[in-house]
Structure 1
Amino acid sequence: MRALNYIKRSHYNKIDDNFLAALYAKLLGTEELTTYYRIFEDKNPENRVLIDRIYTSAPAGLIEPMMSNLFTFITSSSLSPTLKAMIVYFYINYVKPFDRYSEEVSILMAKAVLAHEAFGELVIDFPFEKLLLLPKEETARVYVEVQKTSDITYFVDYIYKHLNQLCDDLLDDFATNKVEALRHDFYQSDDDEGTDSPATSKVETVDLFATENTEVAAQNKDVAPIKEKPEAPKKKTIKVKYVQEELAVSYIPVALDEKQAILLEQDLLERDPLLKKGEAKFYARHCTKNRKYTIAQYKKYSRCAYETARTSMDHLAELLYYRKEKVKNKYVYIPIERD
């Protein structure tokens, strides 16, 4: 947690050797490091093979220059933040610069790159740590393939698939939590609205067979006023006016509730293999005919970066789900009628 808080506070700082040292110290729970980079060789027998050697870590004498190259890459590369973060994650796992926690450091450094390059402190909550739960044998085969071919594409494809799934799961969790919160607030407000029980009025009774003395005494006695029964407060009734609108999709009901939107989302993914899950989720809830949707709406709904939202909306337009038009100084996306 201290390491994550450090990334959150310091995502504006330059990512260099000093940044990594401070991050590693936070991970170890110490204020000052007594040792830093690994000084002993990895004892894995694969590293002692002379022909077709497959390294499981970098030789100790090469760690410092290799990490220096990594910091240069982070500073100077023009690759996208996500691709850069995946390469940093691979490289630190490949070098294994520390005696312990190298895998954890690779996760933290990937988050630091994304926080520094694009997403700020929001990336702290992204569950990169779940990558540590991937099958070790499967991951090892990917690393071996990268070394044999000198092509990191194998690793990028492998990790991207899992990162994409983590993004989808995170969005689903956000949606579920939001629905649960709204449901809780709705029922809580109903429980709080109660009617006050009417006060019991005390009524004096008169005995018709009382004697004359009793009647005189009753006349001299002050009669307590009869309390009026209070009316129960009336609940305020709110009338909702429903307006029916046409949708660009003709094979589903016109008025979509959340359940129908989920069904449409699943149907879209089954019909169109080129459509991504996040794009289908947005379109299923933003497909009203003649409406104009924007990149900002996608960004707010999906809680993603502006560049990601722009790419997704353009992709939907390429697949003919929207028609892209320019209105004044910004682009809007209008649903295209589909059968």
Structure 2
Amino acid sequence: MAASRTDALVGRAIAADARGYRHLVSLYKAEYHIDELQASDKACVTAAVRALRVHDAAADRAPAPTGVAVLTAYTTDYSIGAACAAVNKQYADRHGYEFYCDELPYDEMMAAIAPRRFCGWYKVAMLRRLLANMDELLDRGIGYLFWIDADAVVVDQTKPASALIAAAGHRELILAEDMNPCCLVNTGVLLVRVCEWSQRVWDDVWTMRRYFDVFFYEQSALLRVLKQRDEGLLDVQPFHSFVKHGPSGLKLFPHVAVTPHLALNSNRCRGLTVHVSDPTRRIDTNYSKDEDPNAMAEFIFHCAGRCDKARTLEAVLTAHGLDTSSLELSQLKLVRSKTTVTNAIPEV
């Protein structure tokens, strides 16, 4: 009986395009005319949620348009941002991708995302801004937005984004596992499919007020939104490829693909004399003894957590044979105004 009810609920959910435990509970109550679920009913709904994840993960997706738009943003006092943008634009030009870069004073960036209090939220604002013109992007053949953080740089300039997109089965969101076990995924590099699902997800992330000024900001907000949508990331334990007994290879979910960090977005730099700085001890480094000491970012190097990002970036680019002579790399001296922008009205 439980199995047949589960199958029936899965069928109704597919027909209604309903996902998530709460939505399935509503369908179940309506179908069987009950007000409260007993333990057996809850087990049936839980089984249906899991079955739908398997169904969605296996579903065929029409390939997106092949065009890609690379996005980044940084404040005018962030020299690393300008250097990374220059290298990343070379990558975009090489592959015929559109390239968008927002460079603005710190106060203007904070005003654009207020009342959010961390610059990382600007990526969400920029993604939403472009996705709002989804039809125009699709008319130009743009199927994916490729966000790269201001302190991340493409070190393998030969690798097209299409390789990752195809491996991920044209899923709506492609990103890497986080570089340490304190968080599941890292939003420093994102491939976002131009579609309505992406619009809804990033709108939900944008309004996740509890993370406006709470570590890990937009990254934690995205994880919570994916949890609410029952993507199933939290069911994979252990999650990270570099921890003991961790899974290797691509992790596929209904709408999300998570790569090992080295394959997409990593701060590993193989014995170069650069170090991780974490004065607040929020970064777990206990896993490092189980990791390959020669690990090196394969596609995009991300300076996240590095003490001297300018020196680190120069060392990594040089190690990959990239010319740094034209890049204005210097020790960061950020100019942060004390002006408050909490009264600014952000675009929503």
Name the TM tier (shorter chain).
Answer: under 0.3
TM-score by length of structure 2 reads 0.21
TM-score by length of structure 1 reads 0.21
- Greater C-alpha radius of gyration: 1
Which of structures 1 and 2 has the larger relative contact order (alpha carbons within 8 angstroms, sep 6+)?
Answer: 2
